[in-house]
Chain A
């Protein structure tokens, strides 16, 4: 049989639907060894839009496991930020007819719900358990398939969670947090290498990254092809790349899972309030919608509660955090201890330091903060309740271009 020269002829024979893939958007979080290998496969396979998110920058030692490590002239042009450099390199490899590349040099949590808008599948290539937990929860809320992976020396692990559709599936289907409940050690990738070395974790080598990147990319593509004869249950796949020993485990739902087993069940109400408006403006606009004083919920499970002040874990001084809990967990130190949070010289007697919810009666200092400051970037989805306890879902104003840079013109 003569094979066609059409660009996707081999992919069609493998069962892929290139037209569907060309309409799909895959969000790859983490652009280290695993993220690059996974995203490279997706770019070549014909995914229409890739979104690359990473806050890290390349270092010399990354070269041995970085297919997208920038050449000297590319370093001058694109810099060393992983997300930007990888986006620039991989954009040229994309085979979809009308490819689009977006990237963000940021923590995925900083981008909020908007990062997931229009996404078809979420692929986690991060080091941090806190980020994995966040991605698992967000994929569940947005009804998206979630693929996660990691290394431990020659052992690689991938877990796949199909999209949970509707309230019942969201509640009962296993999630990543069902089996990962202790997420201490939530250090960020910036500090990961040193901490991992101290903890006895062996970093990745390219061969492991390439194998796992292939598995993750195929899992993401399968998630887009629900009509293909492929495993449809939540599962973990382990492989030792030296011995070839492998096994698959069917994952189960934990009866007391700390994760989010809820899906957004309604279209959000669009708001005029943007991320750069104040919390007070947000509360007033939501109050007008719910017909009474609105109560903004900052979900504890998503580490979204607002930390206003907290004691530095190094020196014990009071730090003005003014940020969501996840931000504090990642670097719980004041500026004097090499952290990002200034030492607080003010005290508001009677005002709490932690806010799981906000109302117009909250601390005026908090109400004057911008939505972005308290962890609500453009396109954030927020839930508020009125006095009758009825809740509504809202979407902050904004656009994707406020969250992602375009990688198409690099």
Chain B
């Protein structure tokens, strides 16, 4: 824990290999809230751009390879201080 209320989490970019964003977040933060934060421009540019129409980002805890769903908190997902969370961009088209 970085303090009593937050954990340090490293987010991996879905397409830019090796690009990480480190953030102190509440263990009660949900997957949806975390993604909203990653798409917010804090003045230095957003880590993620909004996904294309119809696509969604998904999160997975790298240590366990388990998904973190939109309404699941990081605590419920078993995320601990220092963990790495991967951001996935699921495929959309099927070849129309």
Binding site for B on A (CB under 8 A): 30, 32-35, 56, 65, 124-129, 149-152, 155-157, 159, 174, 178-187, 189-190, 192-193, 195-196, 199-201, 203-204, 209, 236, 238, 247-257
Q: A200-B52, A201-B55, A247-B65 are in contact. Are A151 and B70 (CB under 8 A)?
A: no
A149 to B93, CA, bound (A): 8
* Minimum CB–CB distance for A53 against chain B, Å: 13
Q: A180-B56, A201-B55 are in contact. Are A253 and B94 (CB under 8 A)?
A: no
B92 CB within 8 Å of chain A? yes
Count A/B pairs, Cβ under 8 Å.
141
Contact among A189, A204, A249, A257 for B88, CB-based, below 8 A? A249
B66 CB within 8 Å of chain A? yes
Interface size class of B (residues with CB under 8 A): 20 to 34
Binding site for A on B (CB under 8 A): 32, 52-56, 58, 60, 64-72, 76-77, 86, 88-96
6 tightest Cβ-Cβ pairs between the two chains A and B? A33-B95, A185-B54, A150-B91, A254-B69, A204-B95, A185-B53
Q: A195-B53, A250-B64 are in contact. Are A151 and B96 (CB under 8 A)?
A: no
Closest-by-CB residue of B relative to A196 is: B93
Across-interface contacts of B92 in A (CB, < 8 A)? 127, 129, 150-152, 196, 201
Is the beta-carbon distance between B93 and A127 smaller than 8 angstroms? Answer: yes
A182 to B56, CA, bound (A): 8
A186 to B69, CA, bound (A): 21
A126 to B19, CA, bound (A): 32
Is the beta-carbon distance between B54 and A187 smaller than 8 angstroms? Answer: yes
Across-interface contacts of A35 in B (CB, < 8 A)? 94-95
Is the beta-carbon distance between A34 and B66 smaller than 8 angstroms? Answer: no
* Minimum CB–CB distance for A278 against chain B, Å: 37
A96 to B39, CA, bound (A): 50
Is the beta-carbon distance between A149 and B94 smaller than 8 angstroms? Answer: yes
Across-interface contacts of A251 in B (CB, < 8 A)? 67
* Minimum CB–CB distance for B67 against chain A, Å: 5
Closest-by-CB residue of A relative to B49 is: A200
